[in-house]
Amino acid sequence: MQKIEFIMGMPIIVDIVDGQAFDEVFSYFRYVDEKFSPYRADSEVSQINKSQNPNFKYSKDMREILDLAEKTKKETNGYFDIYRNGYMDPSGIVKGWAIYRSSQILKNLGCKNFYINAGGDIQTSGLNSEGEKWSIGISNPFNVHENVKVVYLSGEGIATSGVYERGNHIYLPADAAHQALQAGNPNIVSLTVIAKNVYEADRFATAAFAMGKEGINFVEKQKGLEGYMINKDGFATMTTGFEKCLKKLTTS
């Protein structure tokens, strides 16, 4: 059974084959939105940005997000940074984290076969109602009504960063060397990452996209990641292990 709710400014799609725990998942996403949205005046993120107090008492979840953001910043040589002009916006890491955490809620409730899609970033588990891997389309950035590839996942996460559906929502870190490198790269319009879970896929997709044409090479070098990149001319580049994700598991 599949249900959809609009939370965090985007559609949340949940498909559970072996359970009915939709309320628990949607409630969790509402909690995340209330705590981390930079657009809600009463969120913890907004309170932190308003106070500019280095001694602000962070909640446990906020501390976890800040630690994960700092870890990602180091792992990506500064290409991932939740701070801009002195203000925090953890959106680039919170979504994947929230999807992954909600998947753990379902597993703790005994669900084994499900799919959670928040704004195009997806966590899969087990198999679909037909006993096959979950099929997920990678949108054509020049025509979002068609797919350029379909991947088949069971337990992995997938995330795409780009400029084509929500406008240019990726910004570069302040480091001048990184900006100089980006200026020499052809424009990248879409970069998809597949990882062991959606949290890993989401945080690295955001950073790799900011790297321009070097992003796919960065993904290639990371253990457990596969990627698919499309440039402004429509040419695609994939990591060496990406093709294995194109194989469908049948019930026969």
Mean pLDDT of 16-33: 97
Predicted structure pTM score: 0.89
Tell me the pLDDT of the chain averaged across its residues.
89
Q: Give the Cα separation of 48 and 50 in Å (integer).
A: 5
Q: Give the Cα separation of 11 and 6 in Å (integer).
A: 4
pLDDT at 187: 81
Residue type, position 40, single letter: R
188-195 sheet: strands from edge to edge:
2-7, 10-16, 114-118, 121-125, 157-162, 188-195, 226-231, 236-238
pLDDT at 86: 87
CA angle 15, 21, 23 (to 5 degrees): 100
Residue with the larger pLDDT of the pair 182 and 43: 43
pLDDT at 185: 46
Q: Give the Cα separation of 237 and 227 in Å (integer).
A: 8
Write out pLDDT tens, residues 100-123.
999 999 999 999 999 999 999 999
Q: Is the pLDDT of residue 181 over 80?
A: no
Give the DSSP H or E segment for 6: strand 2-7
Q: Give the Cα separation of 236 and 211 in Å (integer).
A: 16
Residue type, position 4, single letter: I
Mean pLDDT of 76-102: 94
**Pairing mode of beta strands 236-238, 134-140:** unpaired
pLDDT at 250: 54
Question: CATH fold of 2-51+59-246, please?
Answer: T-fold (3.10.520)
Q: Give the Cα separation of 194 and 230 in Å (integer).
A: 15
Write out pLDDT tens, residues 137-162.
999 989 888 999 999 999 999 999 98
CA distances to 69, 79, 102, 207, 240 from 214, rounded to whole Å, are 21, 12, 32, 11, 15
CB neighbour class for 137 (10 Å; exposed up to 12, middle 13-18, buried from 19):
exposed
Mean pLDDT of 82-94: 92
